[in-house]
Amino acid sequence: MTPRPAPAGAPLSLDEITRLETWLREQVQANQDPKTGPGFARELGARDILAQAYSQTRLTLSDTRREELFGRVMMSLFGLGPLQPLMEDSGVNEILVNSPGTVFVERKGRLEMVPVAFERAEYIQVLIDRLLYSIGLHADASNPLVEARLADGSHVNVAVPPAAVDGPSLVIRKLSRERLTVENLVALGTLTQNMAEFLRACVTARLNILVAGGPGSGKTTLLSALAACAHSSDRILAIEETSEMQISHPHLLRLEGRLPNAEGRGAITISDLIRNGLRMHPDRIVVGELRGPGAIDLLEAMNTGHEGCLFALQANTPREATARLETLCQMAGGAIAARVIREQITTAVDMVVQIARLRDGTRKLSGITEIAGMEGDAIVHADVFRFIEEGLNPQGKVTGQLRPTGQRPFFAARLESVGYRLPVVLGSQGDTISVRMR
């Protein structure tokens, strides 16, 4: 039975949309030619049937809402085509489509090519359209670069011509449903038990912590695990450009940014979220990877009494991290002198926790550095722990130790005030109390 059209101008209810999707899906299934083989040819035929069935409803949805509706129906019928088995493989973290015959996946930190192929480049575009239409977006010559979050939480990055010189490409980063704690990271070998206890004490003592690392190093995972160490009564405000953190905490509020639409309007920036979030009575602010001028708003928050903040940015060393933070603050505009920004960094940020993806693909904590003030116009970085690589074991895994440098941090008294005995971990340089990373 064809769904009855709603009165002109009347929005469809959620129940009406659900019934319409079900009816359209049934029409496609009932009218497809059984002689049409599997693959994208069958899907293109289904798209035509879908359009014809929709025309029978006499509905007048906007182009955007209609394409979103069609995308959800096609997704429910065809999934992700040749990529669907990879999406269902729990061992695959990321899928990278470079060309019709070149598809890679990431497993355990390593990229490997897989025997998955598209018949033609046009079929990659068909899949991209299906993915994006299902969330109300599109990619074409006028909007060739799209980054978005899918309904299941996975992240998708798309490039199509003319930006993509060799044809459409696609990257899907699957969202892990596992909410990792520092104990989970110990089990994975990312941290040692001593380090887990040290970091938990730092969070309990309400230090402001910057998590730094390169691409794919595990910054977001570590940030989520540290946030989960906060007291259960703390109200945590989690802010991200695109929601990715998986924080296990009973008092959590999540805010997400939004890119501008095709007309350049409707953007929600990290700055907007931080400024508004400060009015939401947070005990702690946790910001996913900083990439823009929202950095200055976060620094101001930390310098005006908001303790226990956690945030991440992309940098390969603690010194690069503070330099990048300074650059991001300058992007906010205004005539703020470099020295003033550095002073704000030193008064706001207590320490940098560095994480790295090693050459064997594993992710390890590679250092902890205190931001120890200013010397002249320069920020003083005092390494508290430093990872010393020793080589490869017979299984090809990197071995080494996260050794204390002998530097007693200025925040030691704050740790002791929450019951953490710093000497248990820190001794003199080269102390046998060093923590071995397996």
| Separation CA 93–CA 86 (nearest Å) | 9
pLDDT band per the 50, 70, 90 thresholds, residue 265: confident
pLDDT of residue 122: 87
Question: pLDDT per residue over 99-142, tens digit each?
Answer: 999 999 998 778 899 998 887 888 899 889 888 877 878 899 99
CA distance 390 to 401: 8
Please give the CATH topology (third level) of the domain spanning 86-173: Beta-Lactamase (3.30.450)
In 3-state terms the chain splits into helix, strand, coil percentages (rounded to 5) of: 35, 25, 40
Q: Please check the confidence at residue 150 and state whether its pLDDT lies above 80.
A: yes
Give pLDDT, residue 3.
55
**CA distances in angstroms from 154 to 82, 147, 233, 243, 245, listed in the order given:** 17, 11, 30, 9, 12
Q: Which residues pair with 173 in a beta bridge?
A: 94, 155
Query: What is the reported pLDDT for 362?
Result: 85
Category of 385 on φ-ψ map: left (φ > 0), alpha (ψ -120 to 50) or beta: beta
Please work out, in degrees rounded to the nearest 5, the angle formed at the alpha carbon of residue 105 by the alpha carbons of 102 and 111. Answer: 95
Cα distances (angstroms) measured from residue 395 to each of 253, 384, 438? 43, 30, 11
- Domain ranges, ordered by start, for the chain: 14-78, 86-173, 182-418
pLDDT score, position 203: 98
Q: Is the pLDDT of residue 2 over 60?
A: no
Residues 240-259 have pLDDT tens digits of 998 889 999 999 999 999 87
Residue 424 to residue 421: CA distance in whole angstroms: 6
Q: Quick one: pLDDT at residue 432?
A: 33
Looking at residues 271-285, what average pLDDT do you find?
Answer: 95
420, 205 Cβ separation under 8 angstroms = yes
Longest dimension (CA), the chain: 79
Condensed to tens digits (0 to 9), the pLDDT of residues 386-399 reads 998 888 888 888 88
pLDDT of 382 over the 70 cut: yes
Q: What is the dihedral of CA 332, 334, 340, 345, to 10 degrees?
A: -10
User: What is the percent of the chain with per-residue pLDDT over 90, rounded to a whole number?
Assistant: 49
CATH ID of 182-418, from 3.40.50.700, 3.40.50.720, 3.40.50.300, 3.40.50.2000 = 3.40.50.300
- Supply the mean pLDDT for the chain: 85
**What percentage of the chain has pLDDT greater than the value 70?**
90
More confident residue, 293 or 238: 238
Domains 86-173 and 182-418 share a fold: no
pLDDT digits (tens, 9 = 90+) for 400-416: 888 888 888 999 999 99
pLDDT of residue 232: 94
Instruction: Please state, in angstroms and rounded to a whole number, the distance separating the CA atoms of residues 44 and 33.
Output: 12
Given a cut of 50, is residue 427 above it in pLDDT? no
Contact predicate 134/149, CB 8 Å: no
- Confidence (pLDDT) at 433: 33
pLDDT by residue (tens digit) across 187-231?
A: 988 988 889 999 999 999 999 999 999 988 999 999 999 999 999
Name the residue with higher pLDDT: 54 or 320: 320
